[in-house]
Homo-oligomer: A and B are copies of this chain.
Amino acid sequence: MELRQLRYFTRAKELLNFTEAASQLFISQSTLSQQIKSLEDELGIPLFNRVGKHIYITEAGELFYNYALKCVHLANDGYLLVQDLGNLHTGKLVIGVTFGLKHVLIPAIIEFNKQYPLVQIQVIFGTSTEMAEQLYQFKMDFLLTYDNVVNSNSRQLKYQPLFSSELSLIVSSKSKIAQKNSITLKDLNSLPLALPAQGFSTRRFIDEVFRKNEITPTVSLEINDIPTLLELVEAGSWSSILTRATVSDQKNLVAVPIRGINTLQKAAVVSLKEVYEKQAVKAFLAILMKK
């Protein structure tokens, strides 16, 4: 039994299709077929049922999978551990972030790069849904978002809170509303709203607030790119709802508080529980939390 075989097996089990699995593993289908067979021979029990053109996992396969997967992950964790042991002089950091937390991330990146110039940084903006998916696939080290992310998911996430920011009405500074100290939820009914698309954590939160308070404002624009959204709001026709923090560095936009409801959004660092945490991640988070 070798890790190679376990890696092949887990992928095959996940896809239940040898051809596709082989392609993802960058080996030929024949190799995969042979390696699975040799693993089955060693275990003395079939891991898959072959029926016609399909394969199904057997009871033994299902049970064995748990061990195989853990084993592969453990080996990988060990590898990662050694990789960045001491050397924050190599390695790569992949950070997911919602646009609303850009202002928190930027200074931290600058500071981190000053301290550890050899660590490559990749920043990915996206919806929390998209990013949670990438996190689960180990394509991301951690993500920065508001904390009402997918909680129904089977695997567990670790939350480290950063700060809170109020959800506010965002309007152009030229708008009449910009003068007001605050508005009520009901005022929203008469405003044409431009909101982030489905999938953004803020949007999920907003929809929830609407539902609870039984109001259905006109959402006349949905868009999945926040800079563009801000640009459109700046132009004057629409208002939007975002956290106050989102526009903290925008001159031509004003955040008007929404009265009477709890609109506190908690920003947090989200990562996978029980997975080895890179040195670079630790160092980065130390900088981030210090602020």
Looking at the assembled complex, report how far the CB atom of A152 sits from the nearest CB atom of chain B, in whole angstroms: 17
Contacts of A75 in B (CB 8 A): 1, 6, 67-68, 71
Q: How many copies does the complex hold?
A: 2
Q: For A49, give its contact among B66, B82, B138 (CB under 8 Å).
A: B138
Chain B residue nearest in CB terms to A57: B138
Q: For A70, give its contact among B4, B44, B74 (CB under 8 Å).
A: B74
Contacts of A74 in B (CB 8 A): 67, 70-71, 74
Contacts of A86 in B (CB 8 A): 44-45, 59-60
Residue A81 interfacial (CB < 8 Å): yes
Q: For A64, give its contact among B68, B71, B78 (CB under 8 Å).
A: B78
Q: Interface range on chain A: under 10, 10 to 19, 20 to 34, or 35 or more?
A: 35 or more
Chain B residue nearest in CB terms to A65: B78
Within 8 A of B (CB), among A247-290: 272, 274-276, 278
Contacts of A51 in B (CB 8 A): 155, 272, 274-275
Q: Which residues of A are at the interface with B, using a C-beta cutoff of 8 A?
A: 1-4, 6, 43-46, 49, 51-52, 56, 58-60, 63-64, 66-68, 70-71, 74-75, 77-79, 81-83, 85-86, 90-92, 138, 155, 272, 274-276, 278
8 new A-B contacts, CB < 8 A, other than A51-B155, A60-B86, A67-B74, are: A44-B86, A45-B86, A45-B276, A51-B272, A51-B275, A60-B82, A63-B82, A71-B75
Q: Which 3 A-B pairs have the closest CB atoms?
A: A67-B78, A71-B74, A46-B276
